[in-house]
């Protein structure tokens, strides 16, 4: 497949600048990572509404809460590991519980952070954030979708967690596509198995489906950008239709997309499934694409999981 690659972080920064022009009430907070998260683009344009607070993720979340309580629409950014893990209690007590208008947009989610290694590779954040009442969780599939999602959360009241990845992503969706919150998108239809993926894993799911086609297996591919609330109807529909589901995510196989899908299946329409993701292990240093291969989370990994599942299904 031929895709254009684009940095999702840059798309985030550019969208923030657009929103800053449209809306006086938007303020942006960062904790000394603004050149990486790209909030610096907003800061350059709107210095009076940009607060780079230094290495204070906990304080940043509390300040975000106070600004939101005073009528501001607040974006806070850091790496996923710090924005969620480091500041979890502040996010819980000061943002989630009072349901304040704070958008946590974290970059560097997952093992694809790469060379920085396990300390910086956040593989628990989707679980942490889905477990918080009042929070909604979105993992945009590409830079085009990042623009739509950032725009959406800016105009929708309340707390959101948006997870971005470090590497550039292939633009699978087009600029004109629509983002429908809470709905998965069927990128390719199929009858024998369904591959449900999120974020960086979606392009690998598409490649895996292509390989499966060559074996005469018709695989559907679903982009599940919204992890919470998850698109139950679509999961049930494809469980009925194909009877087998593989999930793929750049996250621990516990408490992420795979777990969400499993919950829906078990309660509604149990079919066999397999989860592709980090196998409850900390990552390690390496190039991001090498790591996906190493942990069998690339197209070959998804392909193999699908083949294995179809064997069991027989």
Partner 1 sequence: MSDISPEKIRELKLIANKIRELTIKMVYAAQSGHPGGSLSAAEIFAVLYFHEMNVDPKNPEWEERDRFVLSKGHASPAYYAALALRGFFSEEELVSFRKLSSRLQGHPSLMVPGVDMCTGSLGQGLSAAIGMALAAKLDGKSYKVYALLGDGEIEEGNIWEAAMTAATRKLDNLIAIVDRNKIQLDDFTDKMVILDPLEEKWNAFGWRVLSINGHDVVQIIRALEVAKEVDGRPTVIIAHTVKGKGVSYMENTAKYHGKPPQDEEEYNKALKEIEEERREI
List residues binding partner 1 (CB under 8 A): 27, 48-49, 51, 53-54, 56, 58-72, 89-90, 92-94, 97-98
Residue 35 has φ and ψ, to the nearest 5°, of -75, -25
Catalytic residue status for 296? no
User: What DSSP state is assigned to residue 183?
Assistant: -
Structure tokens at 30: 């960062």
Where would I find the beta strands (DSSP E) of 154-271? Answer: 160-163, 169-170, 185-188, 193-197, 219-223, 226-228, 244-252
Pick the closer one to partner 1 by CB: 62 or 182.
Answer: 62
Q: Which of 294, 271, 52, 36 is nearest to 165 (CA)?
A: 36
Rounded CA-CA distance 276/201 in Å is 9
Q: Which are the contacts of 283, defined by CB distance < 8 A and separation ≥ 6?
A: 111, 113, 117, 118, 121, 123, 291, 295
Query: Nearest distance from residue 61's CB to partner 1, in Å?
Result: 7
Catalytic residue selected from 6, 22, 57, 178 = 57
Whose Cβ is closer to partner 1: residue 87's or residue 149's? 87
Tokens at residue 41, please? 């683009």
Work out how close the CB of 206 gets to partner 1 at its nearest, in angstroms, rounded to a whole number.
Answer: 42
* Shortest spacing between CB 68 and partner 1, in angstroms: 7
Nearer to partner 1, 44 or 308 (CB): 44
- Find the angle CA(287)-CA(288)-CA(289) to the nearest 5 degrees: 95
Cα dist from 265 to 107, 230, 235, whole Å: 30, 12, 7
d(CA 83, CA 60): 9
Sheet holding 185-188, edge to edge: 185-188, 219-223, 193-197, 244-252, 272-278
Least Å distance between CB 66 and partner 1? 2
Nearest distance from C-beta of residue 246 to partner 1, angstroms: 39
Nearer to partner 1, 75 or 152 (CB): 75
Nearer to partner 1, 63 or 244 (CB): 63
Q: What CA–CA distance (Å, rounded) separates 74 from 93?
A: 16
- Closest contact distance (angstroms) between CB of 157 and partner 1 is 14
Q: Helices H, strands E: what count in the chain?
A: 13, 14
- Alpha-carbon span 166 to 169, nearest angstrom: 9
If the CB atoms of residues 58 and 285 are measured against partner 1, the closer one turns out to be: 58
What residues act catalytically?
Answer: 57
């Amino acid at each position: 497949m031929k895709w254009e690659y684009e940095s999702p972080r840059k798309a985030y920064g550019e969208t923030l600048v657009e929103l800053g022009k449209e809306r006086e009430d938007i303020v942006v907070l960062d904790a000394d990572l603004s050149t990486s998260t790209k909030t610096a683009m907003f800061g350059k344009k709107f210095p009076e509404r940009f607060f780079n607070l230094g290495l204070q993720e906990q304080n940043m979340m509390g300040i975000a809460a106070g600004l939101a309580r005073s009528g501001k629409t607040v974006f806070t950014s850091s790496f996923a590991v710090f924005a969620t893990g480091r500041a979890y209690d502040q996010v819980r007590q000061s943002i989630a519980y009072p349901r304040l208008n704070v958008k946590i947009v974290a970059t560097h989610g997952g093992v694809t952070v790469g060379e920085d290694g396990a300390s910086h590779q956040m593989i628990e954040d989707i679980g942490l954030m889905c477990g918080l009442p009042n929070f909604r969780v979105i993992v945009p599939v590409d830079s085009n979708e990042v623009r739509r999602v950032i725009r959406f959360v800016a105009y929708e009241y309340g707390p959101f967690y948006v997870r971005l990845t470090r590497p550039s992503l292939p633009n699978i969706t087009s600029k004109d596509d629509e983002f429908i919150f809470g709905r998965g998108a069927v990128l390719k239809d199929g009858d024998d198995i369904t591959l449900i993926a999120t974020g960086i894993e979606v392009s690998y799911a598409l490649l895996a489906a292509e390989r499966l086609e060559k074996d005469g297996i018709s695989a559907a591919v679903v982009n599940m950008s919204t992890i919470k609330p998850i698109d139950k109807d679509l999961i049930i529909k494809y469980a009925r239709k194909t009877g087998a589901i593989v999930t793929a995510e750049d996250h621990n196989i516990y408490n992420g997309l795979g777990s969400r899908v499993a919950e829906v299946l078990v309660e509604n329409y149990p079919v066999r499934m397999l989860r592709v993701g980090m196998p409850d292990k900390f990552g390690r240093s390496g190039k991001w694409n090498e790591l996906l291969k190493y942990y069998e989370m690339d197209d070959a990994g998804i392909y193999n999981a699908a083949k294995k599942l179809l064997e069991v299904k027989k």
